[in-house]
Structure 1
Amino acid sequence: MTGTQLAEVMAELAALEDPKMRAANEKRGDDHGLNLSKLRAVAKRLKTQQDLARELWATGDTAARLLALLVCRPKAFTRDELDTMLREARAPKVHDWLVNYVVKKSPHAEELRLAWFDDPDPVVASAGWALTTERVTRKPDGLDLPGLLDVIEAEMKQAPDRLQWAMNHTLAQIGIDHPGQRTRAIDIGERLEVLKDYPTPPNCTSPFAPIWITEMVRRQS
C-alpha cells in the first residue's frame, strides 16, 4: 500500500462531495456529502483491500471510513480493533455499517455483543443490542428472551435515542419471530408508547412495535 493510492482515493472522495447531500446528511448527524451509490461504485472498482481500508479508517474522515467498511475484509480485524473502531464511530451511518457489514461477519461478534450490551456509553450499548436483534432472528438458542423483555420494559422508555431505537428493534423482532413472546412484546410496546408518533412515509411500516409486529406477522402468514 502506498500513500499515493490513499491520496488519490481521498481526492476522488473530495471530488464527489455534494453540498446539498451534505446538508441533508448533517440533519441526521452524518458529516459527509456523498451519494452512497457513487461511494459503492468506488468500492466496487477498488475491490477488497484490507491495508487501504485501515489507512482510510485512520484518516478519521466519515466518507473515507464508509469506504473503508466497503473494501475491508471483516474477518481480518481483531476483537480489540473492532472495539476501538466502534468507540471511534460517532457518525450514525459509520456506526451502522460497521456493525452490519463488518462486526456481524466477524468471528468475534458474540464476544463483542456481550461486551457492548451493558456498556455505559449508550452508542456502544446500541451496537450490543443490534447484535442481539440479529441473534433473536438467526440464533435464538441460549438467549433469555423473557429476560430481554424485562430489560426493555424497565429501560427503553428513558434510553437515549440511538439506544432506544436499537432496543425497540429487539422488542419488535422478539414479537415477530417468537409467537410465545408476541403478546407480551406487543403489550410492552403499547404501554411504553416508544416511537408511537414517529413520522412514517406512505407505504412504509411504522417503527412503533405493536404496529411493526402485527404487520410483519400478517405478511408472513
Structure 2
Amino acid sequence: MTGSTDVHQSLAEVLDELRTLDDPKIRAVNERHGDDHGVNLTKLRALAKRLRIQPDLSAALWVTEDTAARLLALLICRPKSFDAAALDTMVREADRPKVHDWFVNHVVKKNAHAEELRTAWMGDPDPGVAAAGWALTSDRVAKRPGDLDLAVLLDVIESEMTQAPPRLQWAMNTCLATIGIENPEFRTRAIDIGERLKVLEDYPTSPGCTSPYAPVWIAEMVRRREV
C-alpha cells in the first residue's frame, strides 16, 4: 500500500501489521523487563511516521490493551487534545513499563495539564501513578526547577525510596540523580543519600552504559559536563 491509503489503514489492518512485526526473540528480551511485545521500536516508529497523527485510530488502538498497539497509539495521538481526566485514566491503564514511559514522555509532558497532574500524581496510592508524578518532577528539576523545593524532595526520597515498589523506586532514584546532577548545592547530599540507601547499587549495567546507581550516575554526568 502506498500514498494516502497508508494513512487511512483500518484498525484491523494496523493490528495485522503489528502482528507481522512481532519477533519472538525481541519479545523474549522484553518480557524479562516486564514488557509483553516483540516489535522492534524502530519499525514501530516507522509505522507511526507513515500513519501520521490519527486521534481516532490512536484511541481505538489504546482500548485493545495490546502493548504494541498502545505504543503505536501514543505515537499517533494528539498530546495536547487530552483533558486532565483522560490522562488520569490513561496513566492508570499504562501497566507496562514501556507504555508507562512513553505515555509520560510523549503525551503528558506535551500537555497543558502536566504540572497539575504532576502534583496530583506524586502522592497517589497507586505506585504506577506516583511514578509518573516523580518522572514529571525529574523533568522539572532538569528543565524548569522554578519554585520546586529540592530539599523537601530529597527528604521524601530519603525516607520513602527504599520501601517503594520497583517502578516508583526507579522514578524516585531518577529524581535523586537529577537533583544531584543539576544542582551543585545539593550534590553532596544527593550522593550521600544514594550511598546510604544503596538503591540499584547492584543493577546490571551493560558495557558502555552508565549505572543507574545515583552516586555513580551523578559522578559520571558531572564528569562529562566538565570535559
TM-score range, shorter chain: over 0.9
CA deviations over 1:61-89 (Å, ceiling 9, x no partner): 11110000011110011111111011011
Letter in 2 for 1:73: R
Aligned 1:172-211 pairs, distance under 5 A? 172-211=177-216
1:5 aligns with 2:18: no
Distance in 2, Cα, partners of 1:23 & 1:187:
37
Distance in 1, Cα, partners of 2:65 & 2:204:
32
Distance in 1, Cα, partners of 2:149 & 2:78:
32
Runs (5+) with no aligned partner, structure 2: 1-7
For 2:105, which of 92, 100, 103 is the aligned residue? 100
SS in 1 for 2:10: helix
1:153 corresponding residue in structure 2: 158
CA deviations over 1:19-75 (Å, ceiling 9, x no partner): 222122111111111111111111010011111111111111111100000111100
TM-score, normalization by structure 1: 0.96
CA deviations over 1:89-127 (Å, ceiling 9, x no partner): 101110110001110000010011011101101111100
2:176 corresponding residue in structure 1: 171
Tell me the number of residue pairs that the alignment of Structure 1 and Structure 2 aligns: 219
4+ long deviations beyond 2 Å: none
1:34 corresponding residue in structure 2: 39
1:48 aligns with 2:47: no
Structure 1 position 205, deviation (Å): 1.1
TM-score, normalization by structure 2: 0.94
Distance in 2, Cα, partners of 1:103 & 1:158:
26
1:134 aligns with 2:139: yes
Distance in 2, Cα, partners of 1:164 & 1:11:
36
Query: For the aligned residues, what is the CA RMSD?
Result: 1.1
Runs (5+) with no aligned partner, structure 1: none
Letter in 1 for 2:20: A
Deviates more, 1:100-109 or 1:195-204: 195-204
